[in-house]
């Protein structure tokens, strides 16, 4: 089975995890970059105004025939990070099987809106949806704050552990 990993990351966590998953799957890895630099303010504006920021490479020029597309990226304000939106839109007209995997903060619990958002943007449910949380990597007491989870950067051990979990759900 041929897989393509596609990742976006602002602070490095999802990119590091995607690198590891791509290696494990022997998959091509498309790394989405933004044309404009990203700020906290522009995250809020994208969410409020439902924007799809310009990214490189564009899906049309980067995605080749494969059996499964594995998307990895953060969750922002309960939504899939906006730089992934052009790729989700592409999937609406290109019927690839896809998985969505995120290492998000989890300080406010799960991100229940993601499944519906993916279905709305791609027109179908993902083959796999895995919302992994940084809170699961930290001691549970005291309860990790938003500030602590947003500042956390995955360690090599975390990447091994999370990649193992991902491979379990991606295996047929
Ligand atoms: C503006 C902003 C909003 C965020 N909103 C959420 C959220 O709604 N749910 C969540 O679980 N994590 C949230 N996070 C935490 C990120 O998903 C988490 O830090 C992630 O690991 C960052 O991934 P990256 O390093 O690949 O960019 C948010 C982070 C930022 C900066």
CB neighbours (10 Å) of residue 34?
15
Give me the average pLDDT of each 10-residue run along the chain (172 residues): 96 98 98 97 98 98 96 98 98 97 97 98 98 96 95 98 97 74
In short, whether 151's Cβ falls inside 6 Å of ligand 1 is no
Burial 36-51 (b: 16+ CB within 10 A, else e): eebeeeebeebeeeee
State how far the Cα of 60 lies from the Cα of 93, in Å rounded to an integer.
11
Q: What is the pLDDT of residue 172?
A: 64
CB neighbours (10 Å) of residue 111?
20
Q: What is the pLDDT of residue 171?
A: 84
Please state whether beta strands 75-76 and 79-80 pair in parallel, antiparallel, or not at all (unpaired): antiparallel
In short, whether 47's Cβ falls inside 6 Å of ligand 1 is no
The fold for domain 3-170 equals Rossmann fold (3.40.50)
Domain map of the chain by residue range?
Answer: 3-170
């Amino acid at each position: 089975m041929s897989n393509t990993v596609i990742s976006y990351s602002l602070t490095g966590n999802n990119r590091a995890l995607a690198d590891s998953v791509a290696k494990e799957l022997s998959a091509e890895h498309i790394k989405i970059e933004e044309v404009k630099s990203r700020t906290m303010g522009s995250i809020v504006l994208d969410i409020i105004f439902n924007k799809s920021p310009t990214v490189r490479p564009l899906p049309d020029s980067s995605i080749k025939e494969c059996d499964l597309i594995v998307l990895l990226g953060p969750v922002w304000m309960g939504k899939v990070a906006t730089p992934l939106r052009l790729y989700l839109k592409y999937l609406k007209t290109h019927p690839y099987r896809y998985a969505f995997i995120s290492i998000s903060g989890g300080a406010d619990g799960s991100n229940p809106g993601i499944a519906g958002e993916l279905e709305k943007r791609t027109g179908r449910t993902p083959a796999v949806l895995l919302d992994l949380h940084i809170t699961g990597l930290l001691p549970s007491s005291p309860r990790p704050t938003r500030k602590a989870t947003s500042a956390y950067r995955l360690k090599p051990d975390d990447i091994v552990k999370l990649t193992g979990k991902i491979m379990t759900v991606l295996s047929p």
